[in-house]
Amino acid sequence: MAGAKRAFVLLLAVLAIALLIVPEANDGPLKNMERALVSVASHPLRILDSVTQGIDSVWSRYLALRSVSDENRALRREIATLQEEANRLQEKAAATERLATLLNLKEELAYTTLAARVIARDPTNWYHSIVINKGQDDGVSIDMGVMTPTGAVGRVVKVQRQLAVVLLIIDRNNAITGLVQRTRDEGIVEGTEKGWAWIKYLPLLSNVKVGDIVVTSGMAGGFPRGLPIGRITRIERREAELFLSAEIQPDTDFGRLEEVLVIMNPRETGALPLLPVPDPSAPAKRTERIR
């Protein structure tokens, strides 16, 4: 047994030496064996290689992602800050524009006004009113008119020391005297449930038309003459009634009021800065009477 073993080892040694000394030209069978072995061994090698590469790639991605994630977080923070700043600047720009318009108007007006900010709205569903940040301490008193560059807004109904409640002209409980600009017919402007207004008690023979502009008459209340209220959108003629009524669509967007002007003394001068040029076809006699 020991002799056979020794013989086998010896054979292997001889074979190894033979392989080393066999000339290259005659190593064809060996090459074939090598190829066969390589082709078998290459599969697990490739698999192992791809697994190793995969692990490497995952690891490197993880490492890269960690830094990207931090960077992403920082960028998101920056975007949020910039967006906030952009919003703030947009808001500032809008406020500046609104205030500039208000300031221009304030300078143009012939009567004293006080700029105020709308700080709240009516907490119930039953009244159309706003709360402004100016009150008794600023000289605001009941029945003063309130306006914006687009026209009349309402009148002050309650005053506290530092705030006042303004009942809008679109509230049913509000009534101001109005004038159809073209025909110079006078009536009472009241609010409607739709958030529009009605001008009532117009003369039955008045030739008011849809599209006519209604302005404040200045006869009573805290408004000067000629402040725009809105445009007539519908005229109602009832047979049994002695007067005409007309629906007015106000020019002011009452849902977006932010700054307003309180008219401190509407009868300071007789000037009519906002009154547009009257239509020459309007009856002169009636105009004379109203003035």
Partner 1 sequence: MKYLLYVVLIILLVPFQAVMYDRLAIFGVHADLALIAVCLIGLQAGELDAIIVGIVLGFTQDLFTGSTHWENLWLKPMLGLMASLASHNVVNLTLSFSLALLLALSVFSGSVMFLLKSLHGPGVDFLAAAQGIILPQACYDAVLGIVVLKLMQWAMPTRLHVPTAGYE
Asked if 167 is part of the footprint of partner 1 (rule: CB under 8 A), the reply reads yes
Q: Is 232 helix (H, G, I), strand (E, B) or coil?
A: strand
Supply the minimum distance, in Å, between the C-beta of residue 146 and partner 1.
12
Q: Is 94 in the site for partner 1 (CB under 8 A)?
A: no
Q: Considering the rule CB under 8 A, would residue 164 count as an interface residue with partner 1? A: no
Least gap, CB of 166 to partner 1 (angstroms): 8
Nearest C-alpha neighbor of 148 from the set 96, 107, 106:
106
Q: Please say which residue, 7 or 220, places its beta carbon nearer to partner 1.
A: 220
Residue 134 burial class via C-beta count within 10 angstroms: exposed 0-12, middle 13-18, buried 19 and up: buried
CB of 126 to partner 1, least distance (A): 5
* Near partner 1 by CB under 8 A: residue from 115, 157, 271, 275: 157
- Yes or no: say if 127 and 158 are a contact pair by the CB < 8 Å rule: no
Query: For residue 246, how many other CB atoms are within 10 A of its CB?
Result: 27
Are the beta carbons of 218 and 266 closer than 8 angstroms? yes
Residues of the chain by 3-state class (helix, strand, coil), percent to 5: 40, 25, 35
- Which of 138, 171, 185, 212 binds partner 1 (CB under 8 A)? It is 171
Q: Say which amino acid occupies 109.
A: L
Q: Does residue 125 bind partner 1 (CB under 8 A)?
A: yes
Please state whether 226 falls in left (phi above 0), alpha (psi between -120 and 50) or beta.
left
36: tokens are 């066969």
Least gap, CB of 127 to partner 1 (angstroms):
4
Closer to partner 1 by CB, 121 or 286: give it.
121
Residue 96 lies near partner 1 (rule: CB under 8 A): no
How many angstroms from the chain centroid is the CA of residue 28?
85
Cβ atoms of 183 and 206 within 8 Å: the answer is yes
Task: Indicate the residue among 40 and 142 with the shorter CB distance to partner 1.
Answer: 142
Collapsing DSSP states into helix, strand and coil, what is residue 213?
strand
Q: Which of 173, 207, 265, 287 binds partner 1 (CB under 8 A)?
A: 173
The reply to whether 232 sits near partner 1 by the rule CB under 8 A is no
Supply angle C-alpha 181, 199, 278, rounded to 5.
0
Considering only 66, 126, 161, 284, the residue that binds partner 1 (CB under 8 A) is 126
Which CB, 112 or 162, lies closer to partner 1? Answer: 162
Does position 258 interact with partner 1 (CB under 8 A)? The reply is no
HSE of 281, CA atoms in CB hemisphere, 13 A: 3
Nearest distance from residue 187's CB to partner 1, in Å? 14
Does position 134 interact with partner 1 (CB under 8 A)? The reply is no
Nearer to partner 1, 29 or 123 (CB): 123
CA distance 109 to 269: 10
Judged by CB under 8 A, does residue 281 bind partner 1? no
Residue selected from 124, 211, 240, 288 as contacting partner 1 according to rule CB under 8 A: 124
Interface ranges with partner 1 (CB under 8 A): 119-129, 131, 157-158, 160, 165-168, 171-173, 190, 193, 255
